[in-house]
Amino acid sequence: MTKVLVVDDAVTVRMYHREIMEQLGYEVSEAENGIEGLEKSAFSQFDLMIVDVNMPKMDGYRFVTSIREDGHNHSCPVIMVSTEEQLKDKLAAYKVGANYYIVKPAKVDLMQKIANLMVEE
pLDDT digits (tens, 9 = 90+) for 36-82: 999 999 999 999 999 999 999 999 999 999 999 976 788 999 999 99
Contact 25, 49 (CB under 8 A): no
105-121: average pLDDT = 71
Residue 62 vs residues 16, 75, 121: alpha-carbon distances, Å: 23, 16, 25
Residue 17 vs residues 69, 95, 105: alpha-carbon distances, Å: 25, 24, 10
Q: Report the CATH number at residue 105.
A: 3.40.50.2300
Q: How many domains is the chain built from?
A: 1
Residue 69, burial from CB neighbour count under 10 angstroms (0-12, 13-18, 19+)? exposed
Q: Report which DSSP code applies to 71.
A: T
Please tell me the predicted confidence (pLDDT) of residue 38.
94
The predicted model scores a pTM of 0.89
pLDDT above 90 for 31: yes
Residue 64's domain comprises 3-120
What are residue 51's phi and psi, to 5 degrees? -125, 125
